[in-house]
Amino acid sequence: MLKALNDIPFRFPIMMCLLLGLAPYTPEPHIWEKLKMLAAGDLTRPIDIFDFVLHGAPWAVLLAKIVAYVITPKGETEG
């Protein structure tokens, strides 16, 4: 699993976070709206849960990529 995450260049999860993770940009990013709904306990409708997963997935991949990068010994990233 760590090798798979380390094989993904950082630019792809970052681009996905900027494009899908924050879309639509106005009036506020969807992920921010869904996080506020989650904190308020209003994230109950299936479409809202789907939106949360869809717009949150790039952020989860980026976070997993950062963790994998940090915990992988530097000599193991090649090959």
CA-CA distance, 16 to 67, in Å (whole number)?
Answer: 18
How far lies 79's CA from each of 37, 67, 72, 74, in Å? 43, 19, 13, 12
User: Against a cut of 0.85, is the pTM above it?
Assistant: no
Domain boundaries, the chain: 2-76
CA-CA distance, 26 to 42, in Å (whole number)?
Answer: 21
Q: What is the pLDDT of residues 17-65, one digit of tens each?
A: 999 888 888 888 889 999 999 999 999 999 999 999 999 999 999 999 9
